[in-house]
Amino acid sequence: MDSENKIIIAIDGYASTGKSTLAKALAKELGYAYIDTGAMYRATTLFFLRHKIKLENDRAIQKALHAINIRFLPASEGNRLILNGEDVEDEIRKMYVSEMVSEVAAISAVRRTMVAQQREMGGEKGVVMDGRDIGTVVFRDAELKIFLTANSEVRTKRRLEELVAKGLEVKEDEVGANLTHRDHIDSTRADSPLKKAKDAIEIDNSYISQEEQLLLALNYAKTKILDFSRG
Ligand code: DC
């Protein structure tokens, strides 16, 4: 693929709609970088928990944000999130982090810091970025915006399978309740709530396979890349 004609692909959607699965596969097919912005909010949450940062203490939050360094280390099975030199990729997926992350992600100071870093990471284009506000805030001019949906039973099942595969002990109702809780906070917060961008393409993947979804998205991406290269 011509490096001159690289675009930005924004993938947004509710929790566990398979955003990272699609984003990772698209990035691989196109030779693009993949950035999981949810992992950045999770790493920030982990730091806050470890340092007992109170969410109503603005000064402590500012100080903590200055002390946080986040980077992604490419690995064969996907990127690993490195927080201040430590690989926390597995830790940030655990339930105790999931239970706090939406509250942390609703804090404007946290969002400002993360959004600035995300814009820097995608500045060169050739990136697939997934999250909740990528098409509406981080990259409003992204050439391709995809909004993923799936019904809640399917999402709970997928998330449960993912956690069990990692050897974590979790109950189905606990996982379902966490998804509902996060979706509510993520879509009702004052600062950049989750919503579909007007120009996003919606894909409901409840009953299509990962391969079908990838083909669909890849077709949209190739069309956009062609349009972009023609100016
Ligand atoms: O994608 P995820 O489930 O790992 O994201 C974790 C949380 O981070 C999610 O509940 C909301 C928040 N988030 C956000 O507010 N904005 C983003 N761009 C990505 C995630």
Residue 108 alpha carbon to ligand 1 centre in Å: 14
Write out residues with Cβ below 6 Å of ligand 1. Answer: 15, 37-38, 41-42, 101-102, 105, 131-134, 182, 186
Ligand 1 atom 15: residue of nearest CA:
105
Question: Tens of pLDDT along the chain (231 residues)?
Answer: 455 789 999 999 999 999 999 999 999 999 999 999 999 999 999 999 999 999 999 999 999 999 999 999 999 888 999 999 999 999 999 999 999 999 999 999 999 999 999 999 999 999 999 999 999 999 999 999 999 999 999 999 999 998 899 898 899 999 999 999 999 999 999 999 999 999 999 999 999 999 999 999 999 999 999 999 887
User: Partners of 36 in the beta sheet?
Assistant: 130
pLDDT tens digits along 42-91: 999 999 999 999 999 999 999 999 999 999 999 988 899 999 999 999 99
Enclosing H/E stretch for 224 = helix 210-229
Just give the CATH number of 7-225: 3.40.50.300
Strands 70-73 and 80-83, sheet pairing: antiparallel
Q: Where are the domains of the chain?
A: 7-225
Residue 41: name the closest of 113, 94, 96, 95 by CA.
Answer: 113
Measured from the Cα of 36, ligand 1's closest atom is 1
